[in-house]
Amino acid sequence: MTPPVDLAGADDGDGRLIANVVHFARILRGAGLPIGPGRSIEAVRALQAIGVLSRQDFYWTLHAVFVNRRDQHEVFDQAFNLFWRDPQILERLLSFLLPQALSPDGEKRQDGKEKLSRRLAEAFQAGHQHDRDRPKPLSNEEDEQQIDAVMTWSNREILQEKDFEQMSNAELAQAKLALARLKLPFNEMKTRRFRPSHRGARIDFRATLRAWARSGGNSASFARRVQRTRLPPLIVLCDVSGSMERYTRMFLHFLHALTNDRARVHVFLFGTRLTNITRALRHKDPDRALAKVAASVEDWAGGTRIGHCLAEFNLRWSRRVLGQNATVLLISDGLDRDAAVGLEDEVERLSKSCRRLIWLNPLLRFSGFEPKSSGARAILPFVDDFRPAHSLASLGSIADALSADVGATRRGYRWQSRATAATTQPG
């Protein structure tokens, strides 16, 4: 247990510093930083230890206590500058922003501090509200464009919100069934951890010695152990452009089930831009999860810029999510608005930074299909596993397409020959 803080000692007489630190912590909490009451105590203790002399030291001391992710820095910085400059100025400023909060009665005089912090929190929330309420550009023209987007790719980015039908009970049951059937190639990976097993190939010396010591050395048997296996992290990059639209809802249901079924799944959607929807999909309820996804993605059923989106993924996310032998599942038809410019380099980089790259292509509805589009030809040489999906009518068929046993393929080898054959073919 940590000893209680000597609050009296930290005080400059009238308790203002502590009160202000507590208020400041509350404002940060209001702005979304995960700060519990314990942190305020820690902040006071830290200020005591440092002995604040300058504003800079004061800043960085609070920073060390309240911030624990890099992206929280901005919020902290703004809040700090706003709060610690001059609470009076702030109060006056706020009175312009929130006239209704300052009712003409004298109540604010009596407990000024209490009101101040609450209003600041409101100010933060008001800012958020503002962002959310901003109308999304949407016009009839764009709606029309979306209609014939299937099997082609549009030249415009369509910014609109998507409304998914609710998931039926039958579908829910089907999703669970499909996941139970799902076996990704090279599913389980050996780890460096072990568990006891009678048939293990390795001797568990620790258990053996304990047994021997217990029996006084009369036992001659060995305890054995095997390596534990574990599912590798799975990163899904799913195309939601116009040409993929008819599958989007089903894929999202599938991805939702997948996210909640196993640990370490990250899901990104891309059309003209890349969106990380992992957090939204973590909602247990599929309908709420999908509503959240619909709100966070802005480029439903628009064009596709595969190369651009993969470049963004490689630059911003690959090092953060592709560690620990991740498998990447790319769901796309390979139709690219940018005519596959730069796509080849990005797929190569992606394939080199993950353990396995699996491509699921729903365009292949005929058995004899050869990938001919420039996008598909750029992707093919670098995938480890190519999963054509001839009919994607249900979640079950996605699972089947992914589980189908194609045998071990050497990276790029098998499909390279097919891709070159496709290029030489006329038409």
Partner 1 sequence: MPSPLPRSVDDSVKLLRDGGYVADRSLATAVTLALKLERPLFLEGEAGVGKTEIAKVLAQTLGRRLIRLQCYEGLDVAAAVYEWNYARQMIEIRMAEADSTSRSSIEQEIFSERFLIRRPLLQALSPDPAGPPVLLIDELDRADEPFEAFLLETLSDWQVTIPEFGTVKAPAPPITVITSNRTREIHDALKRRCYYYWVDYPDAARELEILRVKAPDAPRRLSREVVGFVQKLRGEELFKLPGVAETIDWVKALVALDKIELDPETINDTLGAILKYQDDIAKIRGATAAQMLAQVRAELATAGA
Q: What is the dihedral of CA 341, 343, 344, 345, to 10 degrees?
A: 100
Adjacent-strand bridge partners of 330: 237, 359
- Positions 324 through 343 that interact with partner 1 (CB under 8 A): 324
Adjacent-strand bridge partners of 221: none
Q: Can residue 188 be called a binding residue for partner 1 (CB under 8 A)?
A: no
Cβ closest to partner 1, residue 198 vs residue 320: 320
Stretch that binds partner 1, among 213-221, 363-371, 384-392, 404-412 (CB under 8 A): 213-221
Residues 6+ apart with CB under 8 A from 261: 179
Q: For the CB of residue 193, give the shortest distance to partner 1 in the complex, in Å.
A: 6
Q: Can residue 69 be called a binding residue for partner 1 (CB under 8 A)?
A: yes
**How far, CA to CA in Å, does 412 sit from each of 203, 386, 409?**
39, 10, 8
Adjacent-strand bridge partners of 266: 235
Q: For the CB of residue 266, give the shortest distance to partner 1 in the complex, in Å.
A: 10
Q: For the CB of residue 69, give the shortest distance to partner 1 in the complex, in Å.
A: 8
- Positions 342 through 401 that interact with partner 1 (CB under 8 A): 345, 349
Q: Can residue 319 be called a binding residue for partner 1 (CB under 8 A)?
A: yes
Select the residue interacting with partner 1 from 5, 7, 17, 63 (CB under 8 A).
63
Residues 6+ apart with CB under 8 A from 13: none
Please calculate the CA angle 176-181-182 and round it to the nearest 5 degrees. Answer: 95
Please calculate the CA angle 240-357-172 and round it to the nearest 5 degrees. Answer: 50
Select the residue interacting with partner 1 from 27, 30, 61, 268 (CB under 8 A).
61
Q: For the CB of residue 35, give the shortest distance to partner 1 in the complex, in Å.
A: 10
Q: Can residue 45 be called a binding residue for partner 1 (CB under 8 A)?
A: yes
Q: For the CB of residue 373, give the shortest distance to partner 1 in the complex, in Å.
A: 24
Contact at 8 Å (CB) between 91 and 117? no
Q: For the CB of residue 277, give the shortest distance to partner 1 in the complex, in Å.
A: 17
β-strand 265-270 against 274-276: which pairing, if any?
Answer: antiparallel
Cβ closest to partner 1, residue 46 vs residue 177: 46
Q: H helices of 220-370, where?
A: 245-261, 278-281, 286-296, 306-312, 318-321, 343-353
Q: Which residues bind partner 1 (CB under 8 A)?
A: 34, 39, 45-46, 49-51, 56-57, 59-61, 63-65, 67-70, 73, 191-193, 205-206, 208-210, 212-217, 314-315, 319-321, 323-324, 345, 349
